[in-house]
Amino acid sequence: MDHEETGIYTVLDSFILLVPHADWDVYWGALKTKFKYINENCIRDYDGYYYTSSYDSTNYYNDLKYDFEEYTISILNDLEEVIKEKEMFSEKDAWGTPNPYFYHDGIAVINNVELHLFNLIYFDDSRNENNLISFFVKKTPFEVYQYNSAGNKLTLVYENQTDN
CA 155 to chain centre: 18
- Per-residue pLDDT of 69-100, as tens digits, reads 999 999 999 999 999 988 887 666 555 667 78
- Per-residue pLDDT of 96-139, as tens digits, reads 667 788 999 999 988 889 999 999 998 777 777 788 899 999 99
The closest of 88, 80, 120, 90 to 102, measured between CA atoms, is: 120
Q: Which residue has the higher pLDDT, 66 or 152?
A: 66
Q: Rounded to whole angstroms, what are the CA distances from 86 to 75, 76, 159?
A: 14, 12, 22
